[in-house]
């Protein structure tokens, strides 16, 4: 995977999957091995539990996480005691999780481990900062299930997207679902001036006028929008939503007479809880979505095998998906096990 050298440009990276069993752990192991070879100091943690030997849903064998000498990691006390490597403890978090306190340690002798980390992105940000203070060059956060929230640019600087047959055994459906998320990840950013003005806003809905001045609407949530909100765009056609956006808002905006002039701004793509149909209808009618900050997608990886036994033609799947996305797609199983 030629993007490995690009990792030198980032201090934090998330690996997220569209579904469970899309090859995140294989991808992580490949990265850890290559980073060790390149001499890049690395730390790793997880949101949720990752690295189990047997899939908890399908009871199929899964790859374990392999760490190398000098690497740092964070896991729960329970799973730290179950580690199959030699390490020294650097810190123990006083906060407790369901699996015990979180332990930060450094590998002395390579081996395997089960990672169970923070449950919130706020704690993840603190952990990445902690790793950086410990002299780590690159911190990697491995996702659990489809937790796209950790791919927010407010958490990690870069991301790898994992997709595959577990998303759908039908190649065209797989391409369609992956393309939709890819489009959201690559939504255009607002101007630097507007980003500075909007970044400090913590809640509510705001209108940006033609002079880039911002006006509070006095509406704390999109769920409070109703028929009486028809004067929403009296001061401008650009709407900033500080929190999450659902289909309900897109449908509301799509029904507005000025839809072709409407620009919806969100913090980043992880705030969009929308379906492809709602997004397509909104954009087809002329609406535009922008983000304050775009996530830096550095690679798309594909696992051609699903836990149910379906296997896609790897070359065909990678080729067709890369043509649609206009970016390289790597077979995570082929590259990761080489």
Residues 105 and 73 in one domain: yes
Q: Looking at the 3D structure of the chain, how many domains does it have?
A: 2
**Residue 56, pLDDT score:** 46
Residues 176 and 305 in one domain: yes
User: Can you give the residue range of the structural domain that contains 212?
Assistant: 192-291
**Residue 154, pLDDT score:** 84
CATH number at residue 118: 3.40.50
Residues 332 and 266 in one domain: no
**Residue 48, pLDDT score:** 66
Residues 14 and 96 in one domain: yes
**Residue 329, pLDDT score:** 94
Residues 243 and 302 in one domain: no
**Residue 151, pLDDT score:** 78
66-85: pLDDT as tens digits: 999 999 999 999 999 999 99
**Residue 57, pLDDT score:** 46
**Residue 51, pLDDT score:** 46
CATH number at residue 239: 3.40.140
State if pTM tops 0.85: yes
pLDDT band at 89 (very low <50, low <70, confident <90, very high): very high
pLDDT band at 220 (very low <50, low <70, confident <90, very high): confident
Residues 302 and 266 in one domain: no
Residues 24 and 108 in one domain: yes
Q: Which residue, of 272, 291, 310, is where some domain finishes?
A: 291
**Residue 58, pLDDT score:** 46
296-336: pLDDT as tens digits: 999 999 999 988 888 999 999 999 999 999 999 999 777 65
pLDDT over threshold 80, residue 223: no
**Residue 337, pLDDT score:** 42
**Residue 334, pLDDT score:** 76
Residues 99 and 34 in one domain: yes
Residues 139 and 87 in one domain: yes
137-179: pLDDT as tens digits: 999 998 755 567 777 888 899 999 999 999 999 999 999 999 9
Least-confidence region, from 8-12, 117-121, 203-207: 117-121
3-46: pLDDT as tens digits: 888 899 999 999 998 888 888 888 999 999 999 999 999 999 98
pLDDT over threshold 60, residue 110: yes
Give the Cα separation of 265 and 97 in Å (integer).
Answer: 35
pLDDT band at 338 (very low <50, low <70, confident <90, very high): very low
Residues 286 and 303 in one domain: no
pLDDT band at 227 (very low <50, low <70, confident <90, very high): low
């Amino acid at each position: 995977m030629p993007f490995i050298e690009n990792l030198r440009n980032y201090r934090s990276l998330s690996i997220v999957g569209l579904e469970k069993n899309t090859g995140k752990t294989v991808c992580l192991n490949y990265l850890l091995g290559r980073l060790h070879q390149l001499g890049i100091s690395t730390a790793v943690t997880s949101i949720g539990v990752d690295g189990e030997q047997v899939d908890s849903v399908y009871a199929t064998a899964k790859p374990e996480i392999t760490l190398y000498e000098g690497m740092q990691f964070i896991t729960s006390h329970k799973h730290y005691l179950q580690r199959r490597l030699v390490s020294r403890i650097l810190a123990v978090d006083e906060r407790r999780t369901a699996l015990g306190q979180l332990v930060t340690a450094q590998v002395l002798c390579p081996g395997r481990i089960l990672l169970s980390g923070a449950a919130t992105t706020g704690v993840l940000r603190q952990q990445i900062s902690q790793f950086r203070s410990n002299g780590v060059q690159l911190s990697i956060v491995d996702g659990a299930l489809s937790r796209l929230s950790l791919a927010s640019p407010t958490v990690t600087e870069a991301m790898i997207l994992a997709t595959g047959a577990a998303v759908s055994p039908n190649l065209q459906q797989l391409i369609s679902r992956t393309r939709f998320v890819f489009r959201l990840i690559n939504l255009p950013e607002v101007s630097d001036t507007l980003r500075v003005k909007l970044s400090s806003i913590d809640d509510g809905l705001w209108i940006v006028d033609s002079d880039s001045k911002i006006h509070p609407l006095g509406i704390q949530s999109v769920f409070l929008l109703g028929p009486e909100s028809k004067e929403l765009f009296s001061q401008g056609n650009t709407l900033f939503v500080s929190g999450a956006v659902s289909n309900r808002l897109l449908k509301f905006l799509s029904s507005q007479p000025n839809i072709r002039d409407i620009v919806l701004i969100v913090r980043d793509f992880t705030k969009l809880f929308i379906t492809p149909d709602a997004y397509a209808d909104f954009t087809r009618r002329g609406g535009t979505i922008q983000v304050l900050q775009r996530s830096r997608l550095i690679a798309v990886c594909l696992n051609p095998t699903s836990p149910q036994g379906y296997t896609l033609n790897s070359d065909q799947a990678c080729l067709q998906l890369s043509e649609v996305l206009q970016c390289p797609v790597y077979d995570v199983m082929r590259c990761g096990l080489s």
